[in-house]
Chains A and B, each alone.
Chain A
Amino acid sequence: MLRFLISRLLTFIPTFIGVCIISFAFIRVLPGDPIVVMAGERGLSDERYQEMVEQFGFDRPLIVQFWDFFTGVLQGDLGTSFVTKRPVFDEFFALFPATLELSFCAIVIAIVLGLPAGVIAAVNRGKFFDRALMSSALVGYSMPIFWWALLLIIIFSGNLGWTPVSGRIDLLYFFPPVTGFMLIDSLLSGQDGAFTSAVRHLILPSIVLATIPLAVIARQTRSAMLEVLGEDYIRTARSKGLAPPRVNGLHALRNAMIPVITVIGLSVGMLLAGAILTETIFSWPGIGKWMVDSIYRRDYPVVQGGLLMVALMVMVVNLIVDLTYGLINPKIRKR
């Protein structure tokens, strides 16, 4: 296990360097000059422009700029935002809990609904539930997020008035962030109704963000289950006189979990990507919205630093997923 961990950590290094390069390059290949954008409609005199180019170091060769960025990253310094003049690192961690809270709720919804749905569909292969579920999964998977979010807002916020349209909590409530997670902070604040308000704000964005991972997990669970249900050990389990819930939910699902865990890991990457859109639609103050705004502002340090942090998160999740395989199926640990 330890050797496995070390070898995995070693493969981390080249991936990490690659991710740094891509994060650095991404914003620079987009057209648009950050200085011009910052100046806005008033424009700039040529002298002032030249001054700023030197101030931001854009006159130096790209490779030197990259080296600065890279050595900074190694020392835990992602630079300072052009716009707010605050360290990117601090901004990231101020906003990240909001994204994490949203993504966590979304993945929980996707797993809690997707796993059983996939199992039931596989067990009832070809019957009504299976067909209905797989068609909905296909719709969920291919539905444009933006359109889906608006539809839900119109129905549940507009027509029914059940949920708020944007933000993390009603403006009535105010308390200093302790953990950064609104669900926890609202409970800690002890204010009446704060927690309910936080939950109500979370519902729609979580559902929207969960939709694609839910569809993916349900489909993967179903296909992995179908494969496992044909295995000899399932026949053995049934020959022991075990009831179907135990055969399907324990003997089969445990084996089917390997590919499912893989897509759950991949979903986390998709979630962070999906969060960008969802946060924008629901004005959710997380890193998604922060990064979209920074792209419009051509705020190079924020975009490259934010991308790098997100990529790191995805890499860590994938590492955890790899380690989980061995826990689920001991045969894999041996390899």
Chain B
Amino acid sequence: MSLLTIKNLSVDFDTAGGMFRAVDGVDINVDQGDILAIVGESGSGKSVSMLAMMGLLPWTATITADEMSFDGIDLRDLGPMARRKVIGRDMSMIFQEPMSSLNPCFTVGFQIKESLKIHLDLDRAERKKRAIELMELVGIPDPERRLKAFPHQLSGGMSQRVMIAMALACKPRLLIADEPTTALDVTIQAQILDLLADLQKETGMALILITHDMGVVAETAQRVQVQYAGQKVEEQEVRGLFSDPHHPYTAALLAALPERATERHLPTIPGVVPGQYDRPQGCLFSPRCKFADDKCRKTPPPVQPPDLGLARCHYPITRQEDVA
């Protein structure tokens, strides 16, 4: 049985300008011990789909799904009390901005121990011991002293390590890392990714790694799903995706990798992800796709079979074609 199964998840926001579909029929499947990467430009609905699972969206959001189960629990009609027993314990999440994700008014120790206090039956001394263990685990030097530090005394990388320690406090079965390195310096990015990969290996937990950087995917994940404008447009094993992308959007993301640049300038994908007011009629990628024709612009594309990476495209690319 898979750890997390999500079928046909949609999220609609009730905004001043009417309903806006931020996530549109996404499927997600994660087994125990998996590392799944979700890739897509900013605004593709990656964060919203994860927050929907965690139950952290504001009341303006309407969540629908054919199935949304975690560890045998149906997340769809889980009451708030029951959900609070799951999140932060068996399923936890770290975020893009580590510096602003820690509460400036409380010490690092307080914030780590808080998770232990509400989920586990440990006494004070045990909590302190476990907090120190966790800080060692995520590579924070001098943990005993750092427990008393306030977030503003930490660098971005250290803050993210603290966030990871907090998320791992109750030995979760699934860790969701939402762009954990985007806000960090390049050298620190690699360290945090290595740390996440090591911790995943050590604990055997499942990891969903959200990123907009294909480079991060190559280094860390086993399986990738590419998301665009709220839809999943392709899903493959990492190796296959890099050597044989089927969706034009995936191909374009790969072409934008620095090491694949053939010209002096990095090729970027012209245009932006459509938002609430400029959603195209047919294929959502059609305004930016170089293969788009009239059919693409009029009819939403079907989902191709698994050997074509479940690509949501009328004309999926196959290896023979030149994609660069």
A residues neighboring B (CB under 8 Å):
231-233, 235-243, 246, 251, 254-255, 328-331, 334
Cα–Cα distance between A239 and B169 once the two chains are bound (Å): 13
Nearest CB in chain A to that of B169: its residue: A240
Would you call A255 and B93 a contact (CB within 8 A)? Answer: no
Q: Which B residues touch A242, using CB under 8 A? A: 84, 88, 114, 118
Would you call A241 and B95 a contact (CB within 8 A)? Answer: no
Interface residues of B in 73-96 (CB under 8 A from A): 83-89, 92-93, 95
Would you call A241 and B86 a contact (CB within 8 A)? Answer: yes
- The one of B100, B105, B106, B118 in contact with A240, judged by C-beta atoms closer than 8 angstroms, is B118
Cα–Cα distance between A240 and B93 once the two chains are bound (Å): 8
Contacts A239-B93, A240-B88 given; does A231 touch B100 at CB 8 Å: yes
Nearest CB in chain B to that of A253: its residue: B105
Would you call B87 and A331 a contact (CB within 8 A)? Answer: no
Would you call A241 and B88 a contact (CB within 8 A)? Answer: yes
Which interface residue of B89, B106, B115 has the most chain A CB atoms within 10 A? B106
Contacts A239-B87, A239-B88, A241-B86 given; does A233 touch B150 at CB 8 Å: no
Would you call A331 and B152 a contact (CB within 8 A)? Answer: yes
Would you call B84 and A235 a contact (CB within 8 A)? Answer: no
Would you call A329 and B114 a contact (CB within 8 A)? Answer: no
Nearest CB in chain B to that of A235: its residue: B56
Q: Which A residues touch B203, using CB under 8 A? A: none
Would you call A330 and B105 a contact (CB within 8 A)? Answer: yes
Contacts A232-B95, A330-B150, A330-B152 given; does A240 touch B104 at CB 8 Å: no
Taking A237-B103, A241-B86 as given, write out 18 further A-B residue pairs in contact, using a Cβ cutoff of 8 Å, ordered by the A residue number.
A232-B97, A233-B100, A233-B102, A235-B56, A235-B101, A236-B95, A236-B163, A239-B92, A239-B93, A241-B83, A241-B85, A241-B115, A241-B118, A242-B88, A243-B84, A254-B103, A255-B105, A328-B105
- A sample of 12 cross-chain residue pairs with beta-carbon separation below 8 angstroms, ordered by A number, consists of A232-B95, A236-B163, A238-B56, A239-B54, A239-B56, A239-B92, A239-B93, A241-B84, A254-B105, A330-B152, A331-B150, A334-B152
Cα–Cα distance between A236 and B105 once the two chains are bound (Å): 14
> Nearest 10 CB-CB pairs, A to B?
A241-B88, A240-B88, A241-B84, A232-B100, A233-B103, A254-B105, A331-B152, A232-B101, A330-B150, A236-B101
Interface residues of B in 21-55 (CB under 8 A from A): 54
Cα–Cα distance between A237 and B167 once the two chains are bound (Å): 11
In the complex, whether B119 has a CB less than 8 A from a CB of chain A is yes
- The one of A238, A239, A246, A329 in contact with B104, judged by C-beta atoms closer than 8 angstroms, is A329
Q: Which B residues touch A238, using CB under 8 A? A: 56
Nearest CB in chain A to that of B55: its residue: A238
In the complex, whether B192 has a CB less than 8 A from a CB of chain A is no
In the complex, whether B61 has a CB less than 8 A from a CB of chain A is no
Q: Which B residues touch A329, using CB under 8 A? A: 104-105
Q: Which B residues touch A239, using CB under 8 A? A: 54, 56, 87-88, 92-93
Interface residues of B in 115-170 (CB under 8 A from A): 115, 118-119, 150, 152, 163, 166
Minimum C-beta distance from B106 to chain A (A): 8
Cα–Cα distance between A328 and B103 once the two chains are bound (Å): 12
Cα–Cα distance between A279 and B99 once the two chains are bound (Å): 50
Q: Which A residues touch B114, using CB under 8 A? A: 240, 242
Q: Which A residues touch B166, using CB under 8 A? A: 236, 240
Q: Which A residues touch B100, using CB under 8 A? A: 231-233
Q: Which A residues touch B150, using CB under 8 A? A: 330-331
Nearest CB in chain B to that of A330: its residue: B150
Nearest CB in chain B to that of A329: its residue: B105
Minimum C-beta distance from A226 to chain B (A): 13
